A = this chain, B = another copy of it.
């Protein structure tokens, strides 16, 4: 469950809750594609914007539509009390693991971040994935903190942000992190443009937002990487460059949402305000990027 391709579906939201039919479609499609796990309620899954009840419901729906694919559920919240409530709900809904980012309003000390994971893992009956995502949490995990947290009972994996583009630096980053964590804890790369690079640098997992809409394309990249075909894996990832460029410009969150609209998976209004969907120019750029990829690559079928 903590190696291979983990696809993070979006959770299409409405004013009143979740677009349940659309979410079931999105998750069911991932399950059929043969991904190794499904990361419900990640950043792409809008966990931060949903109420406790909506999160519990989304996890139930994800588990119900995931078939035999294990579901990892995001449980992050500003207050430890809320995190523990989300953990309880996720376990009850059948999540096989939880994903926790140290989201914070007041800047937290390392001891406070550690204390959060210590309290949560003490109250868990499923494994936990540490979610290191400074772009949204503004928490910087030094390796010392990673080491302390990764040694807590129940920690199974670390979802790290993009590795450096340079392969030597990427491998050095993964090797350094590996040296401070138990051998049982896997490392998974996120930041989809860095997916192939992260796998080639030694990450066991790819925690992927784009796999939430293009699971087969990601499996193809993944297979090349894990079978050691470094050049081919990088070339395949490069075929998706038009998408990576849009991720850098608009954020993967809005772009994945727009791609899902283009694919007919969700309706146009699927993001929670204050976040806005891409404007007209952005949507045209998404259409153009998909067209370019379809023309030049077999990763996405025309």
Q: How far is the CB of A100 from chain B (nearest CB, A)?
A: 11
**A49 cross-chain contacts in B, Cβ below 8 A:** 78-79, 105
Q: Which of A222-270 contact B (CB under 8 A)?
A: 251, 253
Residue on B with the closest CB to A254? B106
**A43 cross-chain contacts in B, Cβ below 8 A:** 105-106
A103 to B103, alpha carbons, bound, how many Å? 12
Residue on B with the closest CB to A120? B274
**A136 cross-chain contacts in B, Cβ below 8 A:** 105-107
Residue pair A251, B81 in contact (C-beta under 8 Å):
no
* Per-position 1/0 for A3-46, Cβ under 8 A of B: 00000000000010000000000000000000000000001000
**A80 cross-chain contacts in B, Cβ below 8 A:** 272-274
Residue pair A79, B253 in contact (C-beta under 8 Å):
no
Q: How far is the CB of A160 from chain B (nearest CB, A)?
A: 19
The number of chain A residues touching the other chain, given as a range, is: 20 to 34
A124 close to B (CB within 8 Å): no
Residue pair B107, A274 in contact (C-beta under 8 Å):
no
A81 to B106, alpha carbons, bound, how many Å? 22
Q: Which of A80-113 contact B (CB under 8 A)?
A: 80-81, 102-109, 111-113
* Per-position 1/0 for A117-155, Cβ under 8 A of B: 001000000000000000110100000000000000000
Residue pair A116, B274 in contact (C-beta under 8 Å):
yes
A302 close to B (CB within 8 Å): no
A183 close to B (CB within 8 Å): no
* Per-position 1/0 for A69-84, Cβ under 8 A of B: 0000000001111000
With contacts A103-B105, A251-B106 taken as known, whether A275 is within 8 angstroms of B81 at the C-beta atoms is: no
A115 close to B (CB within 8 Å): yes
With contacts A43-B105, A48-B105, A105-B43 taken as known, whether A81 is within 8 angstroms of B138 at the C-beta atoms is: no
A276 to B116, alpha carbons, bound, how many Å? 10
Residue pair A274, B115 in contact (C-beta under 8 Å):
yes
A49 to B103, alpha carbons, bound, how many Å? 12
Residue pair B81, A273 in contact (C-beta under 8 Å):
yes
A103 to B80, alpha carbons, bound, how many Å? 18
> Which residue of A78, A109, A138, A276 has the most chain B CB atoms within 10 A of its CB atom?
A78
Residue pair A107, B135 in contact (C-beta under 8 Å):
yes
Jot down 14 A-B pairs with beta carbons below 8 A, ordered by A.
A15-B81, A48-B79, A48-B105, A48-B106, A49-B78, A49-B79, A79-B273, A80-B274, A106-B136, A106-B251, A106-B253, A107-B135, A107-B251, A112-B276
User: Which A residues contact B (CB, under 8 angstroms)?
Assistant: 15, 43, 48-49, 78-81, 102-109, 111-113, 115-116, 119, 135-136, 138, 251, 253, 272-276
